[in-house]
Amino acid sequence: MADSAITLTHFILSDQQAHPSASGDFSILLHSVEIASKYISSKVRCAGMLNLYGIHGSVNESGDKVQKLDVIANDAFITSLKRSRKTCCLASEEDPEPIIFEDSTGHYAVAFDPLDGSSNIDVNISIGSIFAIYRKKDLSKKASIEDILQPGSQLVAAGYTLYGSATQLVYTTGNGVHGFTLDPSTGEFVLTHPNMRVKPKHPIYSINEGNALYWDQPTTEYIQSIKFPKTGKPYSLRYVGSMVADVHRTLIYGGIFMYPGDKNAKDGKLRLLYEANPMAMIMEQAGGKASTGTQRILDIIPRDVHQRVPVFVGSSQCIDEVEAFYRSFSN
């Protein structure tokens, strides 16, 4: 690692020093996410040798079959966040109810998907972790589920860790988006993508075309318009099936990632608190947009921990075009 390299730890501490009144609690919390990400990365890298492929044997709250690595990743996040002693409430995709520490002095509530795209584990395709950090609503009261049921506009930080050809952690605290790559020789995340920005428009779309039969009319017509444009070249389709991988590519190259509602699931598949909200915050901080087609994702007031919402995230002009289709059909 070069002497000039900026590690994630240095970056977090530098950000803390820019706020003289900071207690350091937030920095400790971010460091706990870093620890969990490193641990999960190490298990993903040797999953085959440790017999960690395959199904665990249970089904999570979202109805997905739980993989062995799902359990390991969930335990890693819960353990690391609890040990930080800075949280009052944790909500995971893998658990039916949030974990509430009523007597905790922690000021933060954290929602997370410990291992997104886990159905891709056995075929060695990129997977990831997603996290969203909210500030406790009222420090004078005991922690409750209300501390996690907050709109995305109240997020103080959001990010994801991608376990692919390299392990990368991308996050925002509301002042831009920064990406760090894990250096295996030192075990440190190093700043490799400062001030990430998404292009205003790019001809790449990402969606599960296998659901085309069930799409609503605005989605169908929008996809038709970019596949068979009246002028210019058609968009290229790129779809991994892991939200972290697909959104990361969209952030780097531009374009649009979509998981709309359809006739079988009017609210889509993706969860608001720990998938849509954090990715929406990241994309907006990078200059993009995030919408349900009819509403800004970060403005949605959640009803429950595992609430689902339609998701369109990416380049601002692409999202504007999708919303225009939804407006035209609503009239």
Active site residue 64: yes
Residue 231 burial class via C-beta count within 10 angstroms: exposed 0-12, middle 13-18, buried 19 and up: exposed
Active site residue 113: yes
Rounded to whole angstroms, the Cα distance separating 268 from 137 reads 29
Q: Which phi and psi angles does 203 have, rounded to 5°?
A: -80, 55
Active site residue 275: yes
Active site residue 116: yes
Residue 185 burial class via C-beta count within 10 angstroms: exposed 0-12, middle 13-18, buried 19 and up: exposed
Rounded to whole angstroms, the Cα distance separating 165 from 168 reads 9
Which is catalytic among the residues 70, 188, 262, 284?
A: 70
Which is catalytic among the residues 34, 69, 81, 94?
A: 94
Q: How many C-beta neighbours within 10 Å does residue 82 have? A: 16
Which is catalytic among the residues 275, 284, 298, 323?
A: 275
Residue 96 burial class via C-beta count within 10 angstroms: exposed 0-12, middle 13-18, buried 19 and up: exposed
Active site residue 70: yes
C-alpha 119 chain-centroid distance: 17
Which is catalytic among the residues 8, 90, 115, 162?
A: 115
Distances (CA, A) of 122 to 71, 113, 165, 292: 15, 18, 15, 31
Nearest C-alpha neighbor of 67 from the set 49, 51, 48, 54: 54
| Three-state secondary-structure class, residue 275 | helix
Q: Which amino acid appears at position 130 of this protein?
A: I
Which is catalytic among the residues 15, 25, 61, 64?
A: 64
Which is catalytic among the residues 34, 93, 284, 323?
A: 93
Nearest C-alpha neighbor of 81 from the set 148, 34, 146, 128: 34
Q: Which amino acid appears at position 139 of this protein?
A: L
Which is catalytic among the residues 8, 29, 30, 116?
A: 116
Which is catalytic among the residues 29, 69, 90, 113?
A: 113
| 296 within 8 A of 309, measured Cβ to Cβ | no
- DSSP characters for 138-206? -TTS---GGGT---GGGEEEEEEEEESSSEEEEEESSS-EEEEEEETTTTEEEEEE-S----S--SEEE
Catalytic residues: 64, 70, 93-94, 113, 115-116, 275
